[in-house]
Amino acid sequence: MLDKKTAAILKVLGKLGEDSAYKVITVNEIFTALPSKSQYDSDSIKQTIEYLCKQEFIVLKFEEDETFCYSLLPKARIYLEQDMSKDKVKKQHLPFSWIIICTFGCAIGAFLSNFLFYYLFG
């Protein structure tokens, strides 16, 4: 399991290098793709990329000052697909409070309809 910052960088690498070929990227490109509220510097991005390489999420072909040539490995693709499916599942659930409100509203509607039916035809 990756922490939030490492997962965010992996998502950026996944978006920028979607095909299976190698992709050349700079640290500045990663900065611009990350959310503005994230707190990264070039050293932390380099360390995170090295960590992802050691954990076999990506493979580095070469690394120069602030330029990397990388490709995503199957482990990273699986992680990103699972992460996307988790986001989709979370978006589909209704909050529990909405379920209670709808149930209570239906109960009131049933009571009023029975009351009116009894009053009009009873």
Q: Is 114 or 39 the better-scoring residue by pLDDT?
A: 114
Q: What is the extent of the structural domain holding 103?
A: 93-121
When pLDDT is averaged across residues 108-116 and rounded to a whole number, the result is 89
Q: What is the pTM of this model?
A: 0.68
User: What is the tally of structural domains in the chain?
Assistant: 2
CATH classification of the domain holding 41: 1.10.10.10
Residue-level pLDDT at 40: 81
Kindly report the backbone phi and psi dihedral angles of residue 58, in degrees, each rounded to the nearest multiple of 5, phi listed first.
-135, 165
Residues 15 and 66 in one domain: yes
**Same-domain status, 44 and 98:** no
In a shared domain, residues 51 and 97: no
Same domain, 98 and 81: no
Residue-wise pLDDT tens digits, 47-83: 999 999 999 999 999 888 889 999 999 898 889 888 7
- Binned at pLDDT 50, 70 and 90, residue 93 comes out as low
Supply the angle between the helices 42-54 and 4-16 in degrees, to the nearest 10: 80
Per-residue b or e along 96-119, where b marks 16 or more CB atoms closer than 10 Å to that residue's CB = eeeeeeeeeeeeeeeeeeeeeeee
Count, in order, helices (H) and strands (E) of the chain.
5, 3
Tell whether 9 and 42 lie within a shared domain: yes
